Amino acid sequence: MPRPKSEFEELFPCDFYTPEELLDADQMYTVYEIARLLQGLDADAEIDEGVEDILLDWAIPWIMRNSDEMVVAEPPSDEEPGYYGLRDDGDD
């Protein structure tokens, strides 16, 4: 149910990183690592599985929204996730 803005102590801008601000140009990341980075955590930070599920709710749409600026690579095996990185001039 909606709540009045006045019920909240503080409101923040809804700003998100651009891919260039978030990702290193020479690295590839899993969606799980991107989810952590979007929250200001280290890519390999240990987090609770429930927290990780919530972070993925933010990361997946972010990846889709920024897909024109990114590339994707096949996972090393069927048990591992794919990898995402910044697109550069040499990428198809």
- Which pTM was predicted? 0.83
Q: Do the domain assignments include residue 10?
A: no
Give the count of domains, the chain: 1
pLDDT in tens, the chain (92 residues): 999 999 999 998 888 899 999 999 999 999 999 999 999 999 999 999 999 999 999 899 999 999 999 999 999 899 999 999 999 877 76
Q: Do the domain assignments include residue 71?
A: yes
Q: Do the domain assignments include residue 58?
A: yes
Beta bridge partners of 72: 84
Q: Do the domain assignments include residue 38?
A: yes
Q: Is the dihedral of CA 41, 43, 48, 51 positive or negative?
A: positive
Q: Do the domain assignments include residue 64?
A: yes
Q: Do the domain assignments include residue 34?
A: yes
Q: Do the domain assignments include residue 45?
A: yes
Q: Do the domain assignments include residue 80?
A: yes
Domain span holding position 50: 24-86
